[in-house]
Amino acid sequence: MEKEIILGKIGAVYGIKGWLKIHSFTEEPETIFDYSPWVLNLGGNKQNIEVSEWRRHNNGLIAKFTDINDRDDAQLRTGAEILVSDVQLPELPQGEFYWRDLIGMDVVNEQGYNFGKVTDIMETGSNDVLVVKANRTDAFGKKERLIPYLEDQVIKSVSLDEKKIDVDWDPGF
């Protein structure tokens, strides 16, 4: 079953010929243009769109789309999410995964304590952090835990098959 993945967002209009600023969420910003076609989602209204040209501009990216030729038409797309089908994402080598694969996984420590499920991943300056929604019967009364994604130190293993992340983390923390 295909899922739509948000790869970026349309920013402000650039110039008068229909160019728009692009905010890429990909690790290497330019690789957003490796995916095609795009689906723009603005307030639940979706539209297939094709990039005809793109280029770097200052510290960002700008793009021109087929059939958008003036500022007014471009203005109608500002703020739209850029979606692609997950089948467009490259296959990863064995043992690697996308962050989105971690959402919904159980987080369990070495003593068998189940912290709950991963609901989000936050990027911080130093390391990423798993946002774990605690089980309703959490023994420590926690509703949510933030667990740093530090491989080997905190994160001991990730099993896509079992949908489980093993951690070295104190449940009282």
Q: Which amino acid is at 171?
A: P
> Taking the CB of residue 80, how many other CB atoms lie within 10 A of it?
22
CATH of the domain at 107: 2.30.30.240
Give the C-alpha separation, 85 to 112, whole Å: 36
CATH of the domain at 17: 2.40.30.60
Q: Specify the DSSP element, H or E, that contains 131.
A: strand 128-134
Give the C-alpha separation, 69 to 72, whole Å: 9
Residue span of the structural domain in which 158 resides: 99-167
Tokens 């605690």: give the residue: 134
Q: Is residue 160 a contact partner of residue 95, using CB atoms and an 8 Å limit?
A: no
pTM value is: 0.69
Tell me: do 28 and 53 sit in the same domain: yes
Q: Which amino acid is at 117?
A: K
**How many domains does one find in the chain?**
2
Single out the residue in 85, 119, 137 at which a domain terminates: 85
Helix (H, G, I), strand (E, B) or coil at 72: helix
Give the pLDDT of the chain (173 residues) as one tens digit per residue. Answer: 678 999 999 999 999 999 999 999 888 999 999 998 999 999 999 999 999 999 999 989 999 999 999 999 999 999 999 999 988 888 888 888 888 889 999 999 999 999 999 999 998 878 999 999 999 888 888 999 999 999 999 999 999 999 999 999 999 88
Tell me: do 123 and 74 sit in the same domain: no
Q: What residues have CB less than 8 Å from 147, skipping those under 6 apart?
A: 107, 115, 129, 130, 132, 154, 167, 169
